[in-house]
Structure 1
């Protein structure tokens, strides 16, 4: 795999080490056994993760360097607080903490401008939401907006939060037929426990590993309370087939929640 050279904060990311899951786990075992010297290695091996999150905010130049440094603070906090008992990959644990650190920085520095690309996505998402409600008389889900706009769900989340509008952040951004989900609550609520963040991001990550049919089955079962028979009629399959597909999907998620 070719490594792309990117210079941030004087670091050539193409030269950063990459660790496999088991190698990362071994470093944390050593760290939590009191070997503090491995902390620097853990930081260096995860700088690419920070960079990938910073790039999602579409900032450039000095702002990107600033956000990269702030993200590194979140990374260090993640390393210091990560517990192998969580039984998830470190990246799954670290992502919400790094994002939270970046967003706290942005909230405290209002002079930072929202990039044009994020602002445009946020505007399109709000217009699409309004049109969807007019046509369907209900709130669109994130997947609905993503399909309408042909934009990844993560980009829609970041763009709506980045515009920092106090009113819109207090209103429901979307719902899945039950309680409304608020943008600020999902991304920046300090009352959300680390375990809740870990579970949320792990399930979200594992859900992406399912095929389209499995995703549809679980969505109908979990969000809409449909029976296997109802889903079978909708998809033109037998109830037994739906049962097997559902079990397979849940098994995939379970294996991701409990990596070996």
Structure 2
């Protein structure tokens, strides 16, 4: 029988860095992930891969759940798992990701979230290499391949904040082409600049939250972000 109170308690512990609580929570919700993944069968993907992607969505649900939502954890988890699978299937037709990269991406995502919960900051690439016994190239390649897709029209703050499309100043009438151009432009950024964009536009963090993760002031993040956006804009309109 589903125990919402127990799930919420496990979420609290997992956010505090309790890996056993995280494992128990993932284990208790395996059936939920599998049931959702099975809905997406018949679209050219193996069930095992769908379940693995669903597990990534479940982990995002664990770290993203807020009791103030006033809803059961399972309700939020269903939304996150379903969204992760839909994004994966949408993008997988554009960029095929090998099973090995998917596996490494899952391990890296989990290691990164565990590290952040314990240390209050995102791990460095070198730390992920050590934690996951991977080479630098394996870590970087897997992390880039598993980045969640960004919508160029999505806004990062309130309704008055500009979208990524508006910031960069590109025409997104052919959004798939623009996504490819954006992906190539992001790859050209130095690691620190790419991470700032990742936190702001892929993780949806505010400038203050990003500043805390990067160990910078909010003012410095704001200035740096403007320069990076301008750099991306130049790359994409060339």
TM-score category (smaller protein): 0.3 to 0.5
Q: TM-score, normalised by structure 2?
A: 0.36
Q: TM-score, normalised by structure 1?
A: 0.33
Larger Rg: 1
